[in-house]
Amino acid sequence: METTKAYTGFKDKNGERIKHLIVLAHPDPKSLSVAYKDEIVQLTEDTNNEVVVRDLYNLGFHPVLSMQDFGALRKGEIPDDIKLEQDYIRCADLITFIYPIWWTGMPAIMKGYIDRVFSRGFAYEITGLGELKKLLEGKKIIILNNFGMPFEEYEKNGMLEAMKKTSDVGIFEFCGMQIEAHHFFGHIDASSKEERSAHVKMLSYLYEKFLPAH
């Protein structure tokens, strides 16, 4: 597992093993989101595939897309911290995004990751004729979200579909990525230890077809 700021790449140069990138955004090391991460890392390693974790809070990832970033990117100069994250994405076969839903959206640090890392020329391009080119085709995506509201409430008022539309379609599919699964877990704050444990155990069934044993 790699969490340092020095990019070394995935080890399997022959492409036989799945290269699994996990992007995590939760400040609490005791959160269910972190428990998901730990379980998924174990599942990946148990099948002898490769896993890299980018824990945005622990890394101190800077989420603000600044004027300095704009200027550099317009000149084709990619800031080092952006290039680092792009390198991980470029090498990955499967990417899992884990973050809670706050105010019906991503935490600011995850949104900032998208703003800065999914840049034009890396994630997508617009031709002179206005045609969209999706540059991240072939990347498989799994998204895991927790929120405090009852699941049924968000399902009834259309919020689940709205959140899928803005993230799945508006971000990842826009760049050519393939959404394999997007799971929402509601009423987390009121859930029992047994219910939270069941959420974690469910992951083995979810990832079974994406992490073949080697």
What percentage of the chain reaches a pLDDT higher than 90?
Answer: 81
Does the residue 4 lie in any domain? no
Query: How much is the pLDDT for 15?
Result: 73
Structural domain boundaries, residue 140:
19-207
Q: What is the Cβ-side half-sphere exposure of residue 189, based on CA atoms within 13 angstroms?
A: 7
Among residues 52, 119, 131, which one has the least CA distance to residue 82?
Answer: 119
Distance CA 92, CA 56 (A): 17
pLDDT at 52 over 90: yes
Per-residue confidence band for 5, with pLDDT thresholds at 50, 70 and 90:
low
Does the residue 176 lie in any domain? yes
Single-letter amino acid code for the residue at 212:
P
Per-residue confidence band for 193, with pLDDT thresholds at 50, 70 and 90:
confident
| Token pair for 36 | 């998901």
Distance CA 26, CA 57 (A): 7
Q: Is 128 exposed, middle or buried (0-12, 13-18, 19+ CB in 10 A)?
A: exposed
- The CATH number of whichever domain residue 89 belongs to comes to 3.40.50.360
Among residues 19, 27, 29, which one has the least CA distance to residue 91?
Answer: 19
pLDDT at 172 over 50: yes
DSSP 76-98: T---HHHHHHHHHHHH-SEEEEE
pLDDT at 2 over 60: no
Number of domains observed in the structure of the chain: 1
Distance CA 111, CA 63 (A): 7
Tens of pLDDT, residues 17-41: 999 999 999 999 999 999 999 999 9
| Average confidence score pLDDT of the chain | 93
Does the residue 7 lie in any domain? no
Tens of pLDDT, residues 39-50: 999 999 999 999
Per-residue confidence band for 16, with pLDDT thresholds at 50, 70 and 90:
confident
Does the residue 81 lie in any domain? yes
Tens of pLDDT, residues 85-130: 999 999 999 999 999 999 999 999 999 999 999 999 999 999 988 8
**Verdict on whether the full-model pTM lies above 0.85:** yes
End-to-end CA distance of the chain: 17
Which residue(s) pair with 102 in the sheet? 105
| Token pair for 151 | 């699941």
Per-residue confidence band for 8, with pLDDT thresholds at 50, 70 and 90:
low
Query: How much is the pLDDT for 3?
Result: 43
User: 18, 212 in Cβ contact below 8 A?
Assistant: yes
Does the residue 99 lie in any domain? yes
Does the residue 75 lie in any domain? yes
Look at residue 14 and give its three-state secondary structure.
Answer: coil
User: 33, 98 in Cβ contact below 8 A?
Assistant: yes
Does the residue 164 lie in any domain? yes
pLDDT at 4 over 70: no
Does the residue 14 lie in any domain? no
Per DSSP (E only), the strands in the chain are 19-24, 50-55, 94-100, 124-126, 132-134, 140-146, 178-185
Q: Phi and psi at residue 105, in whole multiples of 5°?
A: -155, -175
Among residues 48, 51, 29, which one has the least CA distance to residue 40?
Answer: 51
